[in-house]
Amino acid sequence: MTGQTPENPETAADGEEPAIEVQYAVAGDTLPSADAIRRWVSHALQDGTDAVELVVRIVDEAEMTALNQRYRGKSGVTNVLSFPYEPLPGVSSGLLGDVVVCAPVVAEEAIRQGKSPEAHWAHLVMHGVLHLQGYDHHHDEDARRMEALEARLLAGLGFADPYN
């Protein structure tokens, strides 16, 4: 299963459905299904973002560490990275970008934080998708807004507020 999408990605039908490709660069029995990931992504897409394309890639610590160093200039591993697509001026595209999630970090954080693995996966996938849509948490007000939205989205799926 490494490097392969285990199920066919949803494809945009007449521009109405998001096209969500899920890539597994790691294997494991505790990884969420591609369908679950697509459900979380779709739930996190805000109004007007139905006809988009994006990739969610599940990786190991080595790949995430390399990405974190190369694109953020930061040493070590992190749980999720988002890479928004930036079209050339005058080019219209439905491509939203890529979300990369580090499976071992998500598993360890869920245990350490006393959260269900599914809830933590849902949170981090949606967190990454919100970043692709321009949400950020570098400033206090932006962080409050993003965290409130994440809590609302997660509650809509039956998950507890990850910040309480």
120-156 residue pLDDT tens: 999 999 999 999 999 999 899 999 999 999 999 999 9
**Predicted confidence (pLDDT) at residue 11 exceeds the cutoff of 60:** no
In tens, the pLDDT along 52-108 reads 899 999 999 999 999 999 999 999 999 999 999 988 888 888 899 999 999 999 999
What one-character DSSP code corresponds to residue 142? H
According to the model, what pLDDT value does residue 50 have? 60
According to the model, what pLDDT value does residue 94 have? 86
pTM of the model: 0.87
For 15, half-sphere exposure in the C-beta direction (CA atoms, 13 angstrom radius) is 3
Instruction: Please give the Cα distance from 149 to 85 (Å, whole number).
Output: 22
CATH topology of domain 19-156: Collagenase (Catalytic Domain) (3.40.390)
pLDDT band at residue 48 under the 50/70/90 scheme: low
